[in-house]
Amino acid sequence: MTCLRENLNGANLLIGYLEGTLSSAARGELERHASTCAECRELLAVQQTLVDDVPEVSADFDARLYARIQQDSQNQWWRRLLWRPAVPLAAAVAMMAVALWVHPPVLNTPSVDEPKASVDRVEIEQLEQALDDVELFMPVNTPPATL
Amino acid sequence: MPDLPATPQLSPESRVSTDMEAIASLERDAQLMLRVRAGDETSFAILLDRHRAPVVHFLYRMVQNQAVSEELAQEVFLRVYRSRASYEPTAKFTTWLYRIATHLALNWIRDRRKEKNQQSLDVAFDDGEGSRMDRQVADAAPTVEQRMCYQDRVQEVRAAIQTLPDKQRTAVLLHKYEELGYTQISKVLDCSESATKSLLFRAYETLRVRLAHMA
């Protein structure tokens, strides 16, 4: 077996060894190699050199966290209210309703239920009226052509 | 038109029991988180109790500052609580938890690095000798006698880990101290499993060289 550093499968072997997932045969072969190779022996034992000491978590950690959560929940409630899309939409609709109530639009559209015949009759009457108007502007002293 | 098989109609009772069976098959943390989603505050307290120390310690190892590590850990749990309504147990709870923690820690380290760079630029343009002296850092190289002490060994290990690139450092801390497998670490770091193995191998090899005298 070659050294872990020169072995294409070195990363798999090391991680498998450290996580205890290597087969017993592969583990045995690796340990036999490490017994004669200082570098590989150190690499297999590297986790044991990583001693560490960490401080205790502060006693008031939870109290501080719950205070933050409470504060955050209040902020979230306001944020949700302000940013929810329905709120500005509803506000816009309400403003439009108020504007329409204060200044209702004047619509000048024909009545829908008026019969079509009466429309036609009105058009004919208007035409007759227009012709009468034209006659009014004709010169009064013009003799008839037949005379 | 052929008769289609009728969709089985579950009674409310059987639906609840099916949900309960699905929840029971999940890992314990995911079960607790689903209860938090349903409004159970006690389950959040249990989750906090289970993960408070590991998360604070992981962050302490990342940032090397107790006050900052606790501040960041609070942000982690705050984000967990804030996301409770949309939580889906698609991955292990700890993968999600350490993903948040790693993200916050790396952001903090990046910001800190920028600040330090800015400070060093300020020093370079500072003519006052006194301010230069104030910023001098004590020599961290331990003596032979000091190496015999456990605390000095700890300091040396920390210093060696701190010199690793960010991703390698995160991977080693999660692997060695939080006992996450490479599969889970690959999900935390959002990279492939083979890349994670390679990352861990390079990190352990660097540490072996730096800490060989301690073995």
pLDDT digits (tens, 9 = 90+) for B30-54: 999 999 999 999 999 999 999 999 9
Taking 70 as the pLDDT cut, the residues of chain B under it are 1-25, 121-148
How far is the first Cα of chain B from the last one, in angstroms, to the nearest whole number?
78
Residue B102 lies in a domain: yes
Chain B CB contacts of A10 below 8 Å: 201
- The total number of structural domains in chain B stands at 2
B102 Cβ neighbours under 8 A, 6+ residues apart: B62, B170, B174, B188, B189
Numbers of helices and strands, H then E, in chain B:
11, 0
- Note down the domain range covering B53: 21-125
B148/B198 same-domain check: yes
Distance CA A62, CA B36 (A): 17
Total domains in chain A come to 1
Chain A within 8 Å of B153 (Cβ-Cβ)?
yes
A79 confidence band (pLDDT: 50, 70, 90): confident
> Is residue B120 located within the same domain as residue B168?
no
Q: What is the pLDDT at residue B30?
A: 94
Which chain B residues touch A76 with a CB distance below 8 Å?
A: 82
**Cβ contact, residue pair B204, A46, below 8 Å:** yes
Task: Report pLDDT digits (tens) over A103-147.
Answer: 877 766 555 555 555 556 667 777 777 777 766 656 555 444 444
Whether B103 and B162 share a structural domain: no
CA dist., res. B169 & res. A130, Å (int): 98
Decide if A28 is inside a domain: yes
Own/partner contacts of B65-73, CB < 8 Å, gap of 24 or more, are: B66/A55, B66/A58, B68/B108, B70/A57, B70/A58, B70/A61, B72/B101, B72/B104, B72/B105, B72/B108, B73/A61, B73/B101
The residue from B70, B95, B125 where one domain ends is: B125
Among the residue ranges A16-25, A87-96, A115-124, B91-100, the one predicted with the least confidence is A115-124
- State the pLDDT at residue A2: 86
Instruction: Give percent of chain A with pLDDT exceeding 90.
Output: 44
Q: What are the start-end ranges of the H helices in chain A?
A: 10-19, 24-34, 38-44, 46-49, 61-83, 86-102, 116-136
Chain B contact for A15 (CB, 8 A cutoff):
yes
Question: For residue A88, how far is the Cα from the chain centroid?
Answer: 16
Q: ipTM of this complex > 0.90?
A: no
Q: Which two tokens mark A67? A: 């205070």
Give the mutation candidate from A13, A42, A73 for the B interface (greatest B CB count, under 10 A): A42
Give the Cβ contact number of residue B193 at 10 Å: 16
Asked whether residue A71 is assigned to any structural domain, the reply reads: no
What residue numbers bound the domain in which A36 lies? 10-49
- Domain assignment present for residue B39? The answer is yes
On the question of pLDDT at A86 being above 80, the answer is no
Does the reported pTM lie above 0.80?
no
The pLDDT value recorded for residue B75 is: 98
Asked if residue A55 is part of any domain, the answer here is no
**Chain B, nearest residue to A46 by Cα:** B208
Asked, for residue B197, whether it belongs to a domain, the answer is yes
| Residue A40 domain-assigned (yes or no) | yes
Run of H or E residues at B75: helix B66-82
- B134 within some domain: no
Q: Which of B71, B96, B125 is the last residue of a domain?
A: B125
- Please report whether residue A147 resides in a domain: no
Look at B77 and A10 and tell me if their CB atoms are within 8 Å.
no
At which of B61, B90, B125 does a domain end?
A: B125
B28 to chain A nearest CA, in Å? 21
pLDDT of residue A74: 85
